[in-house]
Amino acid sequence: MAKLKLTDILVTVVISIGFGIIYKVWGPLYNMIKPFGLHADQLIYGMWFMAATVAFLIIRKPGVALLAEIAASSGEFLMGSEWGLEVLLFGVVQGLFAEAVFFVTKYKRNSLFIISLAAVMSAFGSILMDSYKGYIGDLAVWNLLLFLGARLLGSILISGMGAFYLVKALERTGVTSLVRPAEKEDYEALDR
């Protein structure tokens, strides 16, 4: 397993600062959607897991997902998050849960399914944190199922599929090749 180099850490932090800014802007949007009810806000909650999946898709090394979520939540906190220090705890838990998926695959698989699974695991981490806060237990069963379903669906759509296709688009531009080592296919292409 390749270890993180300084370049990997810096690129991950830069990606995460970008997501920290997005997270900060996302908070008011999330709060604007809440009044529509039926947990519509949970459909966009998946944005808060995206730093981990995007950073992993670009760097593809152990620890990147965790570092990305911690750095993004730190950036959001430093910009004055309405949730205060709590965002740092959420960032750690969400990053750990995403990192667990990549660990199980030995950091070698990055398919749409694996990235979506990492997003779902981050959602489970956030649900665990929310249940610790206590308000989830007050929901009626139908309301709880709607809440969970919307958050999980949002995580798949935004942090799973959204991250996967965003990085695929970046790969087509060639920008990701600047931070990734050459692969076997790259060398074989030179022989053609």
* Model pTM score: 0.90
pLDDT at 3: 87
Residue 87: predicted pLDDT: 94
| pLDDT per residue as tens, the chain (192 positions) | 678 999 999 999 999 999 999 999 999 999 999 888 889 999 999 999 999 999 999 999 999 999 999 999 999 999 998 888 999 999 999 999 999 999 999 999 999 999 999 999 999 999 999 999 888 888 899 999 999 999 999 999 999 999 999 999 999 998 888 887 666 676 666 676
From 17, 102, 100, 157, select the one nearest 166 (Cα to Cα): 157
Question: Is the distance from CB of 22 to CB of 159 less than 8 angstroms?
Answer: no
So what's the pLDDT on residue 183? 66
Q: What is the pLDDT at residue 166?
A: 97
- Give the model's pLDDT for residue 121: 98
Distance CA 73, CA 48 (A): 9
**pLDDT value at position 187?**
60
